């Protein structure tokens, strides 16, 4: 496992130094130059990450360990110098902030006891209800389509900006769209893979194509495809191997980058659209957040509680003062964001709530054997990599799906019957 993480670290660095860094120098990305302290922290942090991934066997919280640990922690360990070398203190503080949530998962696995909740609704009813909800959101949002709606890739960002004005934050339809894109569509994709239902997969894919047409968003397609793959792994009882599939896929994509460089004269779309977005931008923004924590600030701010200034937004502050654009909403993982926005109190609440909820999913899965809890751990673990944990829970529909999952019945009985036959 350590060898796999070393190889993935090399791929992150390989794509940055070979293309991404130079192509994005206008955005402030600098040549990679790791200071000695960075090598020390890397030598300590990567084996810890590999140890935790080695112990991941496909439980709901294991997805958080894989996604957050690989995308967030490992990218920081490898690429934090791309904004300019951090000091030893900044590097150490950054790694401790990012590593604690992973260790808290292990703590809650020890202290949270078994939990049992009896479901009431057949699984088909749950699917029907969610399909109706998805179709309702599509119909209502289509009636308010942006003038720029379409499939043009070059104007996808324009559609997104126009959509923000039409579907204003906090409105009923904005919540519905976020839940449909980030929660319900991937959930249906998961069920399609779990029960081999091509029609359900077709519907989920058609929904994300519509959302791309409407708002230019691309991530929901990745969520649906990944959730379908998760369902297939659960169906085939291969979930314990998910860590190898995930890390292996990153290495295959790294090979794809090298092939594209040979074929297209040094340019790779995989590096540009995948590695840059998933790892390089993650590391860059995280490094800026660490600098924000350690630098002097132009607003009243406290390590204990952050800032009470109603006009202060950590994401826009970092966008303006470090990325050079006051319109940039520089989101990062939920834990760094909470520390920057609400200080130590906000950070502590986040590193308690997120691991506790993920382990709660595990305990409920152990008692009910409902595979939907696996999906909840998967999608929540993925979303908190770049969203506030409250946004991922409420706005992205994880809480909504959690309620339906608790109401779903029949899995414990089926599991008991299967165990009896095996015995």
Residue 5 predicted with pLDDT over 50: yes
List the one residue out of 228, 222, 345, 314 whose CA is nearest residue 274: 222
So what's the pLDDT on residue 413?
Answer: 44
So what's the pLDDT on residue 411?
Answer: 67
So what's the pLDDT on residue 417?
Answer: 37
pTM, two decimal places: 0.90
Residue 20 predicted with pLDDT over 80: yes
Is 412 or 40 the better-scoring residue by pLDDT? 40
pLDDT in tens, 370-390: 999 999 999 999 999 988 899
Residue 329 predicted with pLDDT over 90: no
So what's the pLDDT on residue 378?
Answer: 95
Is 422 or 143 the better-scoring residue by pLDDT? 143
């Amino acid at each position: 496992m350590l060898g796999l993480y070393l190889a993935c670290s090399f791929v992150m660095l390989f794509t940055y130094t070979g293309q991404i860094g130079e192509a994005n120098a206008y955005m402030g990305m600098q040549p990679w130059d790791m200071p000695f302290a960075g090598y020390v922290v890397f030598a300590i942090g990567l084996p810890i990450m590999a140890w935790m991934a080695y112990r991941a066997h496909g439980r709901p919280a294991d997805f958080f360990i894989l996604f957050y640990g690989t995308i967030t922690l490992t990218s920081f360990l490898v690429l934090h110098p791309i904004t300019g070398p951090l000091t030893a203190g900044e590097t150490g503080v950054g790694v401790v902030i990012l590593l604690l949530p992973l260790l808290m998962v292990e703590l809650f696995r020890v202290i949270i006891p078994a939990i049992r909740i009896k479901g009431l609704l057949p699984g088909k009813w749950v699917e029907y209800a969610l399909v109706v909800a998805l179709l309702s959101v599509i119909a209502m949002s289509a009636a308010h389509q942006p003038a720029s709606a379409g499939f043009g890739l070059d104007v996808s960002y324009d559609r997104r900006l126009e959509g923000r004005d039409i579907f204003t934050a906090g409105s009923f339809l904005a919540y519905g769209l976020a839940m449909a894109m980030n929660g319900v569509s991937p959930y249906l994709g998961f069920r399609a893979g779990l029960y081999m239902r091509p029609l359900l997969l077709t519907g989920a894919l058609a929904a994300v194509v519509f959302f791309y047409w409407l708002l230019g968003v691309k991530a929901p397609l990745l969520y649906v495809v990944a959730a379908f793959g998760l369902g297939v792994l659960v169906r085939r009882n291969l979930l314990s191997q998910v860590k190898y599939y995930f890390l292996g896929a990153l290495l295959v994509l790294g090979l794809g980058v090298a092939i594209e460089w040979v074929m297209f004269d040094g340019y790779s779309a995989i590096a540009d659209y995948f590695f840059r977005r998933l790892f390089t931008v993650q590391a860059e923004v995280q490094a800026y957040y660490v600098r924000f924590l350690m630098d002097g600030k132009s607003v009243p701010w406290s390590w204990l509680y952050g800032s009470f200034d109603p006009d202060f937004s950590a994401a826009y502050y970092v966008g303006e003062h470090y990325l050079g654009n006051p319109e940039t909403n520089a989101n990062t993982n939920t834990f760094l964001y909470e520390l920057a926005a609400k200080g130590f109190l906000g950070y502590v609440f986040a590193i308690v709530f997120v691991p506790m909820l993920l382990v709660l999913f595990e305990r409920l899965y152990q008692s009910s054997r409902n595979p939907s809890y696996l999906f909840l751990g998967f999608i929540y673990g993925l979303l908190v990599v770049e969203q506030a944990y409250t946004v991922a829970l409420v706005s992205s529909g994880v809480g909504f799906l959690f309620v339906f999952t608790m109401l779903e019945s029949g899995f414990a009985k089926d599991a008991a019957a299967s165990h009896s036959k095996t015995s």
